[in-house]
Amino acid sequence: MVEVNKLKSLLSKEFDMKDLGATKKIIEMEIHRDRASRRLWLSQYSYVKRVLEMFNMNNAKPVSTHLANHFRLSTNQYPKIDDEVKDMSKVLYASAVGCLMYAMVCTRLDLACVVSVSDPSVRGYVDADYAGDLDDRRSTTSYVFTLGGGPICWKFMIQSLVALSTTESEYMAIVEAAKESLWLIGLVKELGI
């Protein structure tokens, strides 16, 4: 807390500032604290509820899976004839996905983004899907890093190079995750965790 107060003091010398106490909300994220158990939650419940209402989805049936394994998406599924294009232009799908992607990037709502001090270690998980993209048969990379059991950083991407084997696609995925882990190690050291 001493460091925070020093920073506040330095900033207030340069800028007009008013201390409003502990932050409760920032960029559509609600901040919940349990100081006794030293836990912090980030939530975007109100934001997601507003997005669902905006797209008339507030009464939609919730499901426990993001996208079931048997669904395979491809660009070949887009509308091709004029009537299909006209019908799809009425569906605000891209807008809804964009609004929800913001929430996904900030807090990943399906996980209670709780960072506990009982296990302050950073863990990383990485995987590749050889030739997993149906459109150009490129491999995909995905990784997630957790701190105290809660996700802090994740990525899914189509690999830019065509892998010639499962081993090569796994290697490319590991390289991407390793680059991210080096940055996270520096951040964790700087924060003193």
pLDDT in tens, 134-190: 888 899 999 999 876 778 899 999 999 999 999 999 999 999 999 999 999 888 787
Are 58 and 144 part of one and the same domain?
no
End-to-end CA distance of the chain, in Å? 14
pLDDT in tens, 67-112: 666 777 777 777 888 888 888 788 787 788 778 777 877 775 443 3
Block residue for tokens 């951040």: 187
- Does residue 70 sit within a domain? yes
pLDDT at residue 116 in the model: 34
Total domains in the chain come to 2
pLDDT in tens, 9-59: 999 999 999 888 888 988 888 998 998 988 888 888 898 889 889 988 888
Residue type, 111: L
- Does residue 86 sit within a domain? yes
Domain boundary among 117, 140, 175: 117
- Does residue 53 sit within a domain? yes
Q: For the sheet with 114-116, list strands across it.
A: 25-26, 29-34, 39-43, 114-116
Please tell me the pTM assigned to this model: 0.48
Instruction: List all residues 6 or more positions away from 8 whose beta carbon is below 8 Å from its beta carbon.
Output: 17, 19
User: At 128, is the pLDDT very low, low, confident or very high (cuts 50, 70, 90)?
Assistant: very high
Are 108 and 125 part of one and the same domain?
no
Are 73 and 62 part of one and the same domain?
yes
Determine the Cα–Cα distance for residues 59 and 130; give it in Å rounded to an integer. Answer: 38
Domain boundary among 67, 84, 117: 117
Are 99 and 161 part of one and the same domain?
no
- Does residue 2 sit within a domain? no
Decide if 106 contacts 27 (C-beta within 8 A).
Answer: yes
The residue segments making up the domain with residue 112 are 21-117
| Paired tokens of 30 | 């609600």
pLDDT at residue 148 in the model: 65
Are 105 and 147 part of one and the same domain?
no
